[in-house]
A and B are shown apart, each in its own frame.
Chain A
Amino acid sequence: MHVRLTSCVGALLILVAVCQEVQAQSPDSPPKRDVTTRVAQASLEHIISAPSSSRSLDQGLRTPLATSGSSRTKAQSEAVKALVRAREPFSTSSEDSARAVNPKVSAGKVKWHNDFSSALAASKTSGKPVLLFQMMGRLDDRFC
């Protein structure tokens, strides 16, 4: 019973803190139609694209509710911070995000030159023609 009550109080504290944070961010602007969606998206993006941050979010939610006293308050505060961080879409760099969505892979078994100029210079020496492979995206990305 004590554990369930503590959990409920903890969850309520988190919810109140998040609501306050949302209101404090834009007191004059009208509520956006998709705040909930954006929070959900931001959280999901955060979890997917930044493993280290998602771990802190995960730890932040689990640890505080199982502790007591001042450490519980501190842990709850950390959990709130983690949640707030998670709902900020720009808290993760776009590069990290892109990397998570489109991870690096091998560009195959071809020995590629670094750029067109290098290939042309090699062609002058070897007499071989240049094979220029143009593409959208990158050959060393999984999705290209």
Chain B
Amino acid sequence: MLFSDEKVATMINDQYEPVWVSLRPVPIVRIDFGNGNVVTRTLHGNIATYVCDADARVIDILPGIYEPSIYCDRLTQLWWLHRYAHENRDLTAFLRQYHMKQAALLAKHEEPMRVAPMRDMSKAAIEITLERILEPAGTHHLGEVAKPLTHPNFDRPGQLPRWSKLFEDTKVNERARKQIHDLLAAQGPVRPDVITKKVYREILHADLDDPYLGLGETLFATYPFREDVPIALRAK
């Protein structure tokens, strides 16, 4: 849905070198009610968007799903962050300060700062500091989004991205960025694979090492037909 949006796709194609990676199969729930009535849904699927530099160092992460226009806005900010980090003398220190600053604001339940293009970039000698590139989010922290729809008509093009639940998810994920900032401030610019499991386990609440993604106990603890319970879980 997100990547079928013309604006999102154009922005990503213009500004990024995009790649998607599957970490594991998505759990699929399929209920057959008989007579051809089948319901299929994904369960516990979750995503994360990493922005990295050419040396595979993580600049920042957007956890979970986002409303398309806010997603574009955040990716544009991170494009600028990537650029300024590389124009800075000490990329590691620059990014560490950025993550610490954003985490501190979120910890106080304040809006994080926006990464904005510097107005006087023509002056090549100017030093790039966080103070110069960060500005208060103001009242448009979540961007100029169209009014969310509580009951969208999914048959109409353009209504699904405006679903209020997607907007609520976006707000939750924006709050979860505090943990991302904490993690990246502590770790520094690491490769994605170094922190992926931690991101999924602690921030997205999906333990990639657990074949049942943490649902094993719930599914099998009180299930009486023991031969259908996985051996690893029977022993517990």
Interface residues of A (CB under 8 A from B): 33, 44, 48, 101-102, 106-116, 118-120, 122-124, 126-139, 141, 143-144
Q: Indicate if the CB atoms of A144 and B40 lie closer than 8 Å.
A: no
Which chain A residues lie closer than 8 Å to B21 at the CB level? 115-116, 132-135
Q: Is B13 an interface residue (CB 8 A)?
A: yes
Partner of B26, one of A130, A134, A144: A144
The smallest C-beta distance from A118 to any residue of chain B, in angstroms, reads 7
Which chain A residues lie closer than 8 Å to B38 at the CB level? 48
Q: Indicate if the CB atoms of B17 and A122 lie closer than 8 Å.
A: yes
Q: Indicate if the CB atoms of B25 and A134 lie closer than 8 Å.
A: no
In the assembled complex, the Cα of A123 lies from the Cα of B83 at a distance in Å of 12
In the assembled complex, the Cα of A44 lies from the Cα of B32 at a distance in Å of 9
Q: Indicate if the CB atoms of B192 and A134 lie closer than 8 Å.
A: yes
Q: Indicate if the CB atoms of A133 and B19 lie closer than 8 Å.
A: yes
Across the two chains, which residue of chain B brings its CB closest to A116?
Answer: B19
The smallest C-beta distance from A50 to any residue of chain B, in angstroms, reads 16
Interface residues on chain B, size class = 35 or more
Given A130-B53, A133-B49, A109 contacting B3 (CB threshold 8 A):
yes
Which chain A residues lie closer than 8 Å to B156 at the CB level? none
Which chain A residues lie closer than 8 Å to B32 at the CB level? 44
In the assembled complex, the Cα of A127 lies from the Cα of B18 at a distance in Å of 13
Q: Is B145 an interface residue (CB 8 A)?
A: no
Given A108-B4, A109-B3, A123-B53, A137 contacting B59 (CB threshold 8 A):
no
Across the two chains, which residue of chain A brings its CB closest to B48?
Answer: A134
Partner of A110, one of B9, B22, B26: B9
Q: Mark B15-29, 1 if CB is under 8 A from A, else 0.
A: 111111111111110
Q: Indicate if the CB atoms of A136 and B22 lie closer than 8 Å.
A: yes
In the assembled complex, the Cα of A7 lies from the Cα of B78 at a distance in Å of 71
Q: Indicate if the CB atoms of A120 and B2 lie closer than 8 Å.
A: no
Q: Is B158 an interface residue (CB 8 A)?
A: no
Across the two chains, which residue of chain B brings its CB closest to A114?
Answer: B19
Q: Indicate if the CB atoms of A137 and B53 lie closer than 8 Å.
A: no
Which chain A residues lie closer than 8 Å to B23 at the CB level? 134-136
Q: Is B75 an interface residue (CB 8 A)?
A: yes
The smallest C-beta distance from A1 to any residue of chain B, in angstroms, reads 31
Given A134-B47, A136-B206, A111 contacting B18 (CB threshold 8 A):
yes
Given A101-B30, A136-B24, A137-B26, A129 contacting B78 (CB threshold 8 A):
yes
Q: Is B95 an interface residue (CB 8 A)?
A: no
Q: Is B138 an interface residue (CB 8 A)?
A: no
Q: Indicate if the CB atoms of B46 and A136 lie closer than 8 Å.
A: yes
Q: Which of A102, A110, A112 has the most CB of B within 10 A?
A: A110
Q: Indicate if the CB atoms of A133 and B52 lie closer than 8 Å.
A: no
Q: Indicate if the CB atoms of B16 and A109 lie closer than 8 Å.
A: no
Q: Indicate if the CB atoms of A129 and B16 lie closer than 8 Å.
A: yes
Partner of B196, one of A48, A101, A115, A134: A134
Q: Indicate if the CB atoms of B18 and A144 lie closer than 8 Å.
A: no
Q: Which of A106, A113, A132 has the most CB of B within 10 A?
A: A132
The smallest C-beta distance from A30 to any residue of chain B, in angstroms, reads 12
Mind listing 6 A-B residue pairs with CB under 8 Å? A33-B225, A114-B19, A130-B16, A131-B75, A134-B20, A134-B196
Q: Is B41 an interface residue (CB 8 A)?
A: yes
Which chain B residues lie closer than 8 Å to A134 at the CB level? 20-21, 23, 47-50, 192, 196
Q: Is B12 an interface residue (CB 8 A)?
A: yes
